Amino acid sequence: MSTTLRHDWQSDEVLEILKQPFSDLIFEAQSVHRQHFPPNQIQVSTLLSIKTGGCPEDCGYCPQSAHFDTGVKSGELMKPELVRAAAENAKQAGASRFCMGAAWRSPRDSELESVCDAIGEVKALGLETCATLGMLTADQAERLKAAGLDYYNHNIDTSAGFYKSIISTRTYDDRLETISHVQAAGMRVCCGGIVGMGESREDRAEMLRTLANLSRHPESVPINMLVQVAGTRLDGTTPMDPFEFVRTIAVARILMPNSFVRLSAGREGMCDELQALCFLAGANSIFSGEKLLTTPNADADDDEELLRRLGIKPIEMAASEVDTPSMTA
């Protein structure tokens, strides 16, 4: 079994990995995981919505889209001092990274200035910083880097072929362009997708292949299970087979062995046993806190108890995350 970093995966290769017998797939993923990461440690992040609702995009899964009536109201951008207060609470709760999300298609320069101030406040607490603000220009990516932003999140969501079934207000290439700007600016990339939106197994394989074939693997790869929200276009979608979700986690680990694979949205609806399978398949990052932007998240006390039962400990500080050496080095 080779764990050489590759950026030239073919569709049939990824699909063959994804559809192999479940126990073989999990064994391979866990073996790769142990070569690159301590087996019983997990990175914990907290996500805060610093500007909620009113987004002009029509992403079919999103309760913050202005195209859907979900009860989410458009709010103002939080002031930097309020963001800092929330980050202080997150740090006390055990988070090592603080993520800030704004419901924008792309930020205006005046808005970006306030976000940069908030980044400085969070950095002063000794936390890693992450932001998801929509599409960025090259100049905006440079400004965020100069402000001290460590990670930028911009998911590709799904495969290029299925993408148009979910979103019409921006293209797949738009997303890839923002990722390119972020990498060129020298920031780390947090980029993954959402599964359970009605896509096929082939679509999931293609999504993972696209991520693994980027010029640099995303340092964080969030795998989200669709959280169905009343009023959105995807409400009522047939739920995904849980084992297929675990398979997706496992293939992400195999294709991107140095990346943190995050068990992300949807955990509040997962039993402990399913989450444990995801950790076994190579997931080694979670969000902690009562909300993921506007949707519920798993209870922090429940997370602490589950990790205790599994013998998994949070990484106290993740500042050296990107420099984590291979366990075989």
Residue 1 CA to its chain's centroid (Å) = 27
Q: In 3D, which of 99, 43, 64 has the Cα closest to residue 260?
A: 43
Q: How deeply is 324 buried, as exposed, middle or buried, from its count of CB atoms within 10 A (0-12, 13-18, 19+)?
A: middle
The distance of Cα 69 from the centroid of its chain, to the nearest Å, equals: 25
Coil, helix or strand at residue 47: strand
CA 327 – CA 308 distance, rounded (Å)? 24
Q: Given 84, 97, 130, 204, which residue is catalytic? A: 130
**E strands, the chain, where?**
41-51, 97-102, 128-132, 151-153, 188-190, 193-195, 220-225, 260-263, 285-287, 291-292, 295-296, 313-314
d(CA 131, CA 218): 15
Q: Residues 261, 231: contact at Cβ < 8 Å?
A: no
In total, the chain counts a number of residues equal to: 329
Is 271 tagged catalytic? no
Q: Which two tokens stand for residue 19?
A: 């559809």
Rounded to whole angstroms, the Cα distance separating 210 from 117 reads: 33
Q: Answer yes or no: 190 catalytic.
A: yes
Q: Name the active-site residue from 143, 170, 209, 262.
A: 262
Active site residue 62: yes
Whether residue 317 contacts residue 43, with contact meaning beta carbons closer than 8 Å, is answered with no
The token pair at 279 is 């950790």
Neighbours of 159 (CB within 10 A): 22
- Candidates 59, 175, 253, 278; catalytic one: 59
Catalytic site includes residue 59 = yes
- Among 6, 84, 97, 99, the active-site one is 99
Q: Which of 84, 175, 188, 190 is catalytic?
A: 190
Catalytic residue among 62, 143, 175, 188: 62
Closest CA to 279 of 293, 267, 269: 267
Tell me which DSSP letter residue 268 carries. Answer: G
Residues acting as catalytic residues: 55, 59, 62, 99, 130, 190, 262
